Amino acid sequence: MEHKGFTVWLTGLSGAGKSTIAEAVAAELRGRGFKVEVLDGDVVRTNLSKGLGFSKEDRDTNIRRIAFVAHLLSRNNVVAITAAISPYRAIRDEARAMIGNFVEVFADAPLAVCEERDTKGLYAKARSGELKGFTGVDDPYEAPLNAEVVCHTDKESLDESLAKVMAKLEELRYLEQVG
Protein backbone atom coordinates (compact mmCIF):
# COMPACT_ATOMS: atom_id res chain seq x y z
CA MET A 1 0.00 0.00 0.00
CA GLU A 2 1.11 3.54 -0.76
CA HIS A 3 0.49 6.81 0.99
CA LYS A 4 0.00 10.02 -0.93
CA GLY A 5 2.69 12.62 -0.57
CA PHE A 6 2.20 15.94 1.14
CA THR A 7 4.23 18.70 2.74
CA VAL A 8 4.24 19.77 6.37
CA TRP A 9 5.64 23.31 6.32
CA LEU A 10 6.94 24.46 9.71
CA THR A 11 7.49 28.19 10.08
CA GLY A 12 8.47 30.34 13.04
CA LEU A 13 11.29 32.34 14.55
CA SER A 14 14.74 30.92 15.10
CA GLY A 15 14.52 28.89 18.30
CA ALA A 16 10.75 28.43 18.16
CA GLY A 17 11.01 24.65 17.87
CA LYS A 18 10.53 24.00 14.15
CA SER A 19 13.30 21.42 13.79
CA THR A 20 12.31 19.64 17.00
CA ILE A 21 8.70 19.30 15.87
CA ALA A 22 9.81 18.32 12.36
CA GLU A 23 11.94 15.46 13.67
CA ALA A 24 9.13 14.24 15.95
CA VAL A 25 6.58 14.27 13.11
CA ALA A 26 9.08 12.52 10.82
CA ALA A 27 9.69 9.77 13.37
CA GLU A 28 5.96 9.26 13.90
CA LEU A 29 5.23 9.09 10.18
CA ARG A 30 8.14 6.74 9.49
CA GLY A 31 6.81 4.51 12.25
CA ARG A 32 3.53 4.38 10.34
CA GLY A 33 5.23 3.33 7.11
CA PHE A 34 5.51 6.69 5.33
CA LYS A 35 8.50 7.71 3.23
CA VAL A 36 9.66 10.98 4.80
CA GLU A 37 12.34 13.59 4.11
CA VAL A 38 13.07 16.52 6.41
CA LEU A 39 14.26 19.71 4.73
CA ASP A 40 15.79 21.68 7.58
CA GLY A 41 16.50 25.33 6.82
CA ASP A 42 20.06 25.26 8.18
CA VAL A 43 20.95 22.13 6.19
CA VAL A 44 19.39 23.48 2.99
CA ARG A 45 21.27 26.77 3.34
CA THR A 46 24.55 24.87 3.71
CA ASN A 47 23.95 22.74 0.61
CA LEU A 48 21.20 23.73 -1.81
CA SER A 49 21.31 27.47 -1.10
CA LYS A 50 25.01 27.96 -0.38
CA GLY A 51 26.10 31.46 -1.29
CA LEU A 52 22.74 33.09 -0.66
CA GLY A 53 22.66 35.94 1.83
CA PHE A 54 19.80 37.20 3.95
CA SER A 55 18.33 39.93 1.76
CA LYS A 56 14.60 39.57 1.11
CA GLU A 57 15.40 38.41 -2.44
CA ASP A 58 17.85 35.76 -1.23
CA ARG A 59 15.46 34.58 1.50
CA ASP A 60 12.68 34.25 -1.09
CA THR A 61 15.01 32.32 -3.42
CA ASN A 62 15.92 29.97 -0.57
CA ILE A 63 12.25 29.32 0.24
CA ARG A 64 11.42 28.78 -3.45
CA ARG A 65 14.17 26.15 -3.61
CA ILE A 66 12.85 24.40 -0.51
CA ALA A 67 9.32 24.53 -1.95
CA PHE A 68 10.50 23.09 -5.27
CA VAL A 69 12.20 20.14 -3.58
CA ALA A 70 9.18 19.61 -1.29
CA HIS A 71 6.93 19.64 -4.36
CA LEU A 72 9.07 17.01 -6.13
CA LEU A 73 9.04 14.80 -3.06
CA SER A 74 5.31 15.20 -2.42
CA ARG A 75 4.30 14.40 -5.97
CA ASN A 76 6.35 11.19 -5.68
CA ASN A 77 4.44 10.03 -2.58
CA VAL A 78 7.05 11.17 -0.10
CA VAL A 79 6.16 13.33 2.90
CA ALA A 80 8.31 16.45 2.86
CA ILE A 81 8.67 18.17 6.21
CA THR A 82 10.24 21.60 6.03
CA ALA A 83 11.62 23.50 8.99
CA ALA A 84 12.66 26.94 7.81
CA ILE A 85 11.94 30.36 9.29
CA SER A 86 10.29 31.41 5.98
CA PRO A 87 9.51 34.84 7.39
CA TYR A 88 7.33 36.29 4.63
CA ARG A 89 3.67 35.33 4.10
CA ALA A 90 3.69 35.92 0.34
CA ILE A 91 6.47 33.40 -0.31
CA ARG A 92 4.83 30.84 2.00
CA ASP A 93 1.62 31.33 0.01
CA GLU A 94 3.62 30.81 -3.18
CA ALA A 95 5.03 27.58 -1.73
CA ARG A 96 1.51 26.42 -0.81
CA ALA A 97 0.29 27.07 -4.36
CA MET A 98 3.27 25.26 -5.91
CA ILE A 99 3.05 22.20 -3.67
CA GLY A 100 -0.70 21.68 -3.37
CA ASN A 101 -0.89 19.11 -0.55
CA PHE A 102 0.38 21.56 2.06
CA VAL A 103 -0.11 21.84 5.80
CA GLU A 104 1.29 24.96 7.44
CA VAL A 105 2.41 24.54 11.04
CA PHE A 106 3.28 27.70 12.96
CA ALA A 107 5.81 27.07 15.74
CA ASP A 108 4.73 30.04 17.83
CA ALA A 109 6.94 31.18 20.67
CA PRO A 110 7.46 34.71 21.95
CA LEU A 111 10.67 36.39 20.84
CA ALA A 112 11.93 36.48 24.45
CA VAL A 113 11.56 32.69 24.72
CA CYS A 114 13.35 32.17 21.40
CA GLU A 115 16.19 34.39 22.62
CA GLU A 116 16.45 32.33 25.84
CA ARG A 117 16.72 29.14 23.74
CA ASP A 118 19.36 30.66 21.45
CA THR A 119 21.84 27.78 21.35
CA LYS A 120 23.79 29.27 18.42
CA GLY A 121 24.12 32.76 19.90
CA LEU A 122 22.47 34.34 16.86
CA TYR A 123 20.13 36.65 18.77
CA ALA A 124 23.03 37.93 20.86
CA LYS A 125 24.99 38.67 17.69
CA ALA A 126 21.95 40.42 16.17
CA ARG A 127 21.37 42.50 19.31
CA SER A 128 25.03 43.57 19.38
CA GLY A 129 24.88 44.63 15.72
CA GLU A 130 27.31 41.91 14.63
CA LEU A 131 24.58 40.16 12.63
CA LYS A 132 22.39 42.36 10.43
CA GLY A 133 18.95 41.55 9.03
CA PHE A 134 18.12 38.88 11.62
CA THR A 135 14.49 37.80 11.61
CA GLY A 136 12.63 39.02 14.67
CA VAL A 137 15.29 41.57 15.61
CA ASP A 138 15.88 43.91 12.67
CA ASP A 139 14.02 42.03 9.93
CA PRO A 140 10.30 41.23 10.14
CA TYR A 141 8.62 37.90 10.72
CA GLU A 142 5.11 37.77 9.29
CA ALA A 143 3.19 35.23 11.35
CA PRO A 144 0.72 33.05 9.44
CA LEU A 145 -2.85 34.29 9.44
CA ASN A 146 -4.48 30.90 8.85
CA ALA A 147 -2.02 28.13 9.62
CA GLU A 148 -3.61 24.70 9.77
CA VAL A 149 -1.81 24.06 13.08
CA VAL A 150 -0.42 26.46 15.68
CA CYS A 151 1.97 24.96 18.22
CA HIS A 152 2.55 27.24 21.20
CA THR A 153 5.97 25.82 21.97
CA ASP A 154 6.43 27.96 25.07
CA LYS A 155 3.31 26.44 26.67
CA GLU A 156 3.02 22.95 25.13
CA SER A 157 5.17 19.87 25.45
CA LEU A 158 6.67 18.35 22.32
CA ASP A 159 4.17 15.50 22.66
CA GLU A 160 1.28 17.98 22.68
CA SER A 161 2.60 19.74 19.56
CA LEU A 162 3.14 16.40 17.84
CA ALA A 163 -0.41 15.31 18.72
CA LYS A 164 -1.83 18.54 17.23
CA VAL A 165 0.03 18.01 13.95
CA MET A 166 -0.93 14.34 13.70
CA ALA A 167 -4.59 15.11 14.49
CA LYS A 168 -4.69 17.69 11.69
CA LEU A 169 -3.07 15.26 9.23
CA GLU A 170 -5.69 12.69 10.20
CA GLU A 171 -8.50 15.24 9.83
CA LEU A 172 -7.22 16.25 6.38
CA ARG A 173 -7.05 12.54 5.43
CA TYR A 174 -3.33 12.61 4.63
CA LEU A 175 -2.71 9.50 6.72
CA GLU A 176 -4.90 7.23 4.61
CA GLN A 177 -3.40 4.64 2.31
CA VAL A 178 -4.03 4.86 -1.43
CA GLY A 179 -3.90 2.21 -4.15
Residue 29 half-sphere exposure toward CB, CA atoms < 13 A:
33
Strand runs (DSSP E) across the chain, as ranges?
2-3, 6-11, 36-40, 79-83, 102-108, 149-152, 177-178
Beta bridge partners of 6: 79
The answer to whether 86 is a known catalytic residue is yes
Determine which one of 74, 86, 128, 157 is catalytic. 86
- Residues classed as catalytic: 86
